[in-house]
Amino acid sequence: MRINKYISETGACSRRVADAWIAAGRVTVNGSTVTLGTKVGEGDVVCIDGQPVGAPKKHIYIALNKPVGVECTTARSVPGNIVNFVGYPERIFPIGRLDKNSSGLILLTNNGDIVNDILRAENAHEKEYVVSVDRPVTDDFLRGMSAGVRILDTVTQPCKLRRAGRCTFRIVLTQGLNRQIRRMCEVFGYKVTSLQRVRIISLKLGDLQPGCWRKLRLAEVRALLPGRAL
């Protein structure tokens, strides 16, 4: 394992910070100062400023049904931040975000290596939402939304929509622009009254109650991250 990854997985710091410590000569393996490309194996003693760091921690994957009002930030100074809300005893962070006024499925982990796998736009991973708006959903609205909408100096990618009620629809996106669904609806004169994410790739919200969280099963992690060593 590369030394920067090893250090980050102990929870001591992020990989970027580990790179800075290595470049500054603060990291040793078995008493010798290392470079950025150094690899470590079982039995090697890794120290930062002469102090040993522990073995990499086991990866944690959590599904949370985020309620409205919780902020998807790791900044503990922000009221209602997601880290304090979950209250997990180890360092974790959210993968992506749901805005404060939205609810539903969000993943949290301590594994920084998998964030880009899930969020990278070119991977075209699906995320599904149930959305309620302030007036009846029309066929023209569904066609217009699914074809792509000009927001934020770009045109959204085509997406899947279907009516779920008089003023409710389901939408499947493969991108994640800032407040994308709300902005798309505004173009057609609709205001979102509630927005809930119900699926990320293969993982469904299911019967997880608002404000509750659970650890993912190994089979669920493998389905989200095929081919990755877990």
Burial class (CB in 10 A: 0-12, 13-18, 19+), 179: middle
For each of the domains in the chain, give its residue range(s) and CATH number, in order of start.
3-52 (3.10.290.10), 61-120+204-224 (3.30.70.580), 126-200 (3.30.70.1560)
Q: Please compute the mean of the pLDDT values over residues 208-220 and round it to a whole number.
A: 96
How confident is the model over 2-55, as pLDDT tens digits? 999 888 888 788 788 899 999 999 999 999 999 998 999 888 999 999 999 987
Burial class (CB in 10 A: 0-12, 13-18, 19+), 98: buried
Q: What percent of the chain has pLDDT over 90?
A: 75
Active-site residue, from 19, 99, 113, 117 = 99
Q: Please compute the mean of the pLDDT values over residues 187-198 and round it to a whole number.
A: 98
Q: Is 139 a catalytic residue?
A: no
228 has a pLDDT exceeding 70: no
- pTM of the predicted structure, to 2 decimals: 0.80
How confident is the model over 104-152, as pLDDT tens digits? 999 999 887 787 788 876 778 999 999 999 999 999 999 999 999 999 9
